[in-house]
Amino acid sequence: MYRVMKMFRTFAFVGAMLLFTGAFSLLSAQVDDEALSEEELNSAIVYEFDKDFDVVFQGVQKGLVDAGYEVDYASKRKKLIETKFRILAPEDDFFDIMEQYGKIPYVRSPSWKNGRTLVSVRLEENGSGTTITVQAQLSAYEGRFLNKWLYWVSNGVLEEQALSAIVAAVDAESGSDL
């Protein structure tokens, strides 16, 4: 009798573990992994300036600050400027705000928190000036089922807003040097 009870407990434990791992695979399957087109994957905007690298580098930093971002990392050697995450949407207005900037990943009955964005700008020196590539990344924390940060691509609106502020700042920066 003792042996039967011990074997039953073992099977119950193994069965519970299988159900437990199966539940997590179902949760991760709830995230919609639709194939994104090449255009959607690359929402980056490329812009070319006829100005010196240092002028553009300073102007990009000033433009990002003017657009409401805080610069987190700026390296002339790596030719990269990144901002800190900027909160776009609180929990209450999440869908209304974040749908303007990109397709939100599907999660069944989500509890989204802190819709945010990060902007990175890559600089490249060429013979006639400096080329920049502006890329935004969206993310939010799903706190009901997945309990993790999910990231997705922007539709280009944030990049356009950041680029217009950058162009204005670079033009002002180069005008002050004359």
Q: Taking the domains of the chain in order of start, what are their residue ranges? A: 1-30, 40-177
- Residue 21 tokens, joined: 């791992």
Look at residues 160, 169, 158, 165 and name the one whose alpha carbon lies nearest to residue 88. 158
Per-residue pLDDT at 29: 37
Please give the single-letter amino acid code of residue 110: P
- Angle of CA points 7, 9, 12, to nearest 5°: 110
pTM value is 0.74
Q: In a structure prediction context, what are the per-residue pLDDT tens digits for the chain, which is 178 residues long?
A: 666 566 666 666 666 665 555 544 434 434 444 444 445 456 899 999 999 999 999 999 999 999 999 999 999 999 999 999 999 998 888 999 999 999 999 998 899 999 999 999 999 999 889 999 999 999 999 999 999 999 999 999 999 999 999 999 999 987 764 4
Report the distance separating Cα 46 and Cα 159, nearest Å: 10
Per-residue pLDDT at 149: 95
Phi, psi dihedrals of residue 52, rounded to the nearest 5°: -65, 150
- Residue 57 tokens, joined: 């580098």
CATH number for the domain running over 40-177 = 3.30.530.50
- Residue 167 tokens, joined: 């162009």
Report the distance separating Cα 28 and Cα 41, nearest Å: 21
Per-residue pLDDT at 90: 85
Per-residue pLDDT at 2: 60
Instruction: Count the neighbouring beta carbons within 10 Å of the beta carbon of residue 59.
Output: 24
SS3 label, residue 118? strand
Distances (CA, A) of 22 to 14, 34, 108, 134, 138: 12, 22, 17, 40, 29
Report the distance separating Cα 134 and Cα 157, nearest Å: 11
Report the distance separating Cα 80 and Cα 18, nearest Å: 46
In sequence order, the β-bridge partners of residue 130 are 49, 125
